Structure 1
Amino acid sequence: MIALNFKNIDELKDMHYKAILSHVNAHLTPKDIASLYANVITLPGFEGYPAKYNAKTDNYTWLKEFILADFNTLKKWVAICATKLRFQQFKTIYLTKFSNGYDNFVDTENTYNAYVLLEKMDISVCPYCEHEFFEIVEIDDVKRRTCEFDHFFPKGDANYPALAMCFYNLVPSCIPCNRLKKTRSVTASPYSSDIEKQSFLYPDLEIGVNMETVKQEDCCVQFHAMGDMVVNEKTLALEQRYAHLAPNIYHLLKKRQQYPEEKLEEMERLGINTKDQLLLDFFGNPREKAKGKELHTKMKQDLIGY
């Protein structure tokens, strides 16, 4: 429901690719690498690579192009050549190294795994639902995470195990979303820039209604999904999961009715405070600052435009 636009995206991708390259060089035999190469170059976009692998001249550009392929390229591969995405090497890396505890690492330098990527992404809420926080906690001196990396295109053996370590197939996800999704489809990816335009959250209230006459329980959010978000809403039960927020919505709408733009501008003219500071005091951080850090910023923006 929120787009993943990381400011440090180049750093994230570089770190991800170099860790996988380190693993490939350290743990795969020349025969394994040749087999991996043969599988990758059958995909659209790799037509310029020679059919026969040559270890002496290999600079691993094929590996980088595969691992860092953008979301639209992954979507194209899944649509037109799904059976070519069944090779297992990257799924093995994911299960045994990347996502196998905080003290297992992909690279030989022992610096990179799911915990490190999540920390570097610097995101605190689930982009699928914006309804759950991410945390890394410590229990009995062992780090645990309350989030997972969802494979937008499932990594199951009968699905797309080859994409298990592709950067744009790894979506930081809360456990509820990942468990609800499992291997079922969602069609809107947080790596798609237009995902935020495909939903609108609103209460089923009359326009201009006096909030003093409204009951809290009547402020349940309605989730209007469009395009690819229709499947996401159904699969992840988004509207149902927002149902208990009626009191929050009620108080937000009531306060916004008490302090419309004209009132805030008047208070600024009277010298009470600046409009921006008043907005912050009454409604918290604006979305451009809160997105990825606080819950329900899409809902707040849709409800009160802030």
Structure 2
Amino acid sequence: MIRIDVSKIKNWELIKEKHSEWYYKKIFPQIGIAIEKIEKKYQDNESNQKVTYENQDIVKRYIDLLKKIKSEGKKFVIKENLFFDYKIDEINFLSKIMKKEKKKKSILEEMFLLFKINKKYLPHKLFSYDEFPNHTREWNRHKLLSLTEIEICPYCQRNYISSFEENDDKRTTADLDHFYPKSLYPFLALSLYNFIPSCQICNSRFKGTKDTYNSVYPYEESFDDLGAKFKTSKEIIYEILGEKDSEFFVNINYGNLKDEDNKKVQNSVSNLGLDKVYKKSHNQYIKDLLDNIEKYPEKYLESCVEIFDEYYKDDIKKEIVIKYFIDIIKEPYRKRIENGEPLAKLTKDIFDEFKIKI
């Protein structure tokens, strides 16, 4: 997983401006109405003997959340601190009461029925992602994704997520994933810092609606920042370079991290299936990389040196030429790492493992 560094996204301020304006015009007016309507029903039921203190507390805490959101005005959907000043217990509580499962009502929905509150004021209705246009309007999902100019999936760094134009409109192959899933955190369904441009495999095939609260958050950190690395078996790789038929596996090594970071990386690997998609998928790429740098250059360069034998007769000059040519072979891999292209981290970690200077 790689970090999304917004300081390097040249259109980030424009994205924030467009997104907050759209939210303030389309969504924000309903929040004040919701607070007023819910509070009235809450007060009407305070003396109702069928309504327990626990029931009242659930509705009261939801009202308090809406008031916090309203106080932020148009800035709410572009806040970096998604959870305000809430502690983990309060975040877990909100997630628990809002959890939306198929064919089942959330706890908050049950409270709305009990208090006879209109369901349109539920968080998954107030902050409905369906209200965010897919295309054809002034501000939409495709325009947002295109303006980020993120071309590689930050989750796996394996797949391109390209933008293109069609019928004079911006389009993209990327999914717009909700890092904190809508089913658990519906009030974050429209928050910019909860949007992760991603490939369909990461978003739909693996991550889905899994809770990601205690996992690596791409707007703050990456596997590199925490010290997690791809690793192979050195002995088996050298067997392959010796042209023996052996299988090998790519692992994500994070066992030496401190407990908190270890758990976050473990959760991210599991949620995104990274251990599965990297296990053997890129074996040929790794083999070719090591072949190109460790095996082919010496033989090829010896042939080159023989062609220019009259210029490179002494061993010192020959070594200089060999070293120079190896640097040329490394250049595409160096560019891959510098540009953050697909498999950049895997490439960097393989170089580190085999002590190959890049």
What TM-score, normalized to structure 1?
Answer: 0.71
Q: Which amino acid aligns with 1:295?
A: P
Deviations 1:37-81 (A, max 9, x none): 8899935995xx9xxx8xxxxxxx713442222257469567524
Larger Rg: 2
Matched with 1:231 is: 267
SS at match of 1:42: helix
- Structure of greater relative contact order (alpha carbons < 8 Å, 6+ residues apart): 1
Give matches, 1:53-92, under 5 Å: 62-70=72-80, 73=83, 76=86, 80-81=90-91, 82-83=93-94, 87-88=123-124, 91-92=127-128
Q: Which amino acid aligns with 2:337?
A: R
Matched with 1:193 is: 221
Q: Which amino acid aligns with 1:191?
A: Y
Q: Taking structure 1 as reference, are residues 269 and 189 closer, same or farther at Cα in structure 2, changes over 3 Å only?
A: same
Give matches, 1:142-181, under 5 Å: 145-156=172-183, 159-179=184-204, 180-181=206-207
SS at match of 2:230: strand
Residue pair 2:180, 2:188 contacting (<8 A) in 1 also: yes
Matched with 1:56 is: none
CA distance in 2, matches of 1:134, 1:245: 19
CA distance in 2, matches of 1:267, 1:255: 19
Residue pair 2:142, 2:170 contacting (<8 A) in 1 also: no
Q: Taking structure 1 as reference, are residues 13 and 298 closer, same or farther at Cα in structure 2, changes over 3 Å only?
A: same
Identity %: 22
Q: 1:210 deviation in Å?
A: 6.0
Unaligned stretches of 5+ residues in structure 1: 54-60
Q: Taking structure 1 as reference, are residues 129 and 148 closer, same or farther at Cα in structure 2, changes over 3 Å only?
A: same
CA distance in 2, matches of 1:40, 1:267: 74
Deviations 1:207-256 (A, max 9, x none): 99465325465243122243311112122221221222111111112333
Q: Which amino acid aligns with 1:280?
A: E
Q: Which moved more, 1:113-122 or 1:132-141?
A: 132-141
SS at match of 2:7: coil
Matched with 1:302 is: 349
Q: Taking structure 1 as reference, are residues 89 and 21 closer, same or farther at Cα in structure 2, changes over 3 Å only?
A: farther
CA distance in 2, matches of 1:29, 1:70: 18
What TM-score, normalized to structure 2?
Answer: 0.62
CA distance in 2, matches of 1:153, 1:65: 19
CA distance in 2, matches of 1:231, 1:28: 33
Residue pair 2:165, 2:171 contacting (<8 A) in 1 also: yes
Matched with 2:259 is: none
Unaligned stretches of 5+ residues in structure 2: 37-60, 99-121, 255-261, 302-315, 353-357
Q: 1:20 deviation in Å?
A: 3.2
Deviations 1:105-160 (A, max 9, x none): 3xxxx1x222112212111111111122213467899976432111111112xx21
Aligned residues: 274
Matched with 1:126 is: 153
Q: 1:194 deviation in Å?
A: 4.3
CA distance in 1, matches of 2:132, 2:89: 29
Q: Taking structure 1 as reference, are residues 235 and 135 closer, same or farther at Cα in structure 2, changes over 3 Å only?
A: same
CA distance in 2, matches of 1:79, 1:231: 19
Give matches, 1:1-306, under 5 Å: 1-9=1-9, 11-25=11-25, 27=26, 30=29, 32-35=30-33, 42-43=64-65, 62-70=72-80, 73=83, 76=86, 80-81=90-91, 82-83=93-94, 87-88=123-124, 91-92=127-128, 94-98=129-133, 100=134, 102-103=135-136, 105=137, 110=138, 112-136=139-163, 145-156=172-183, 159-179=184-204, 180-186=206-212, 187-196=215-224, 197-206=226-235, 209=238, 211-213=240-242, 215=244, 218-225=247-254, 226-242=262-278, 243-258=280-295, 269-270=320-321, 277-281=328-332, 283=333, 285-289=335-339, 291=340, 294-305=341-352, 306=358
Q: Taking structure 1 as reference, are residues 143 and 270 closer, same or farther at Cα in structure 2, changes over 3 Å only?
A: closer
CA distance in 2, matches of 1:194, 1:23: 29
